[in-house]
Structure 1
């Protein structure tokens, strides 16, 4: 399941969606939040934009790549766009499989690929003004380990 939306999401509901298989023995998920600090600057919020249609295709491709590498049953990505404030939820990534190791690794992989292969543009609102964010070297290194 893939959703790109402005509305917040309910982690409990997303978790319940992944409990739909009796053969699932493990569910792993990650929730990303807007931090109040980035690169030594106070952050007031974050604005995210995307390219509708293309972004969803990219997210689907990331999930399909994870399914080709690990024996996962289902995966879910919910990514918010629009204006977000500090501590708002940005992203939910969840995976289920028969065993925990596949779920852990696939969830980690999906997040690392999401940060570098999905078309989202991020603009931080700081005390000094607004600034567009570029891909971080650490995100590129994380993706390359896979």
Structure 2
């Protein structure tokens, strides 16, 4: 019976060490350095990184399945969880500039979260690079982003 208790203690200690190692590895992954094109800490594609390499922006790897009006776009972007959202006008311009790293964009217009007034918001053309205002009731493409 003593052999069983000793084996149980050794097994328990090994399990505790394994869990501790896994937690330390997870802590290190939270402070990893990222570069544009990497898979980000929340599963998106990194398209902007600050000088530290630890903070930036990541975008979903693909658009929403359907084109959406602006209000639907805001809701759909936030449905992915904490901090996922529609990009600001400036963030969307950065995303356009890094479109080849992120990939899977249509040659079409995409919504930004930046409102001009109660009836219009800014958009980014992914076919020509232009930004313009657009009626919120129109349906356009959507790509969610989040900071890290």
TM-score range for the pair, normalised by the shorter chain length? under 0.3
Q: If each structure's strand is expressed as a fraction of its own residues, which one has the higher value?
A: 1
Based on CA coordinates, which of the two structures has the bigger radius of gyration?
2
State the TM-score, normalizing by the size of structure 2.
Answer: 0.26
State the TM-score, normalizing by the size of structure 1.
Answer: 0.26
